Amino acid sequence: MFSIRMRAEKNEKHISGAETLVEKNMILATITELAQRALSHEKGEPDFINISVES
């Protein structure tokens, strides 16, 4: 299992975040989903997105 975390900020303020556990074959799809979530958040478009993957 892999832990995938996303944090998005706008003007140094947290606007979106998520964490999930996935199998290896779901890493790419999950990263894409979390990036989309960050980029289309109702609190605005972020100026910083961090996505981390750990085993």
For 21-35, how does the pLDDT look when each residue is reduced to its tens digit (9 = 90+)?
999 999 999 999 999
Distance in angstroms (rounded) separating the CA atoms of residues 44 and 33: 17
6 near 27, Cβ under 8 Å?
no
Q: How far is CA 33 from CA 12, 21, 26, 48, in A?
A: 22, 13, 11, 16
Query: Phi, psi (5° rounding) for residue 54?
Result: -130, 145
Q: Where are the beta strands (DSSP E) in the chain?
A: 2-10, 13-22, 48-54
Using a pLDDT cut of 70, give the percent of the chain over it: 100
Q: What is the pTM of this model?
A: 0.90
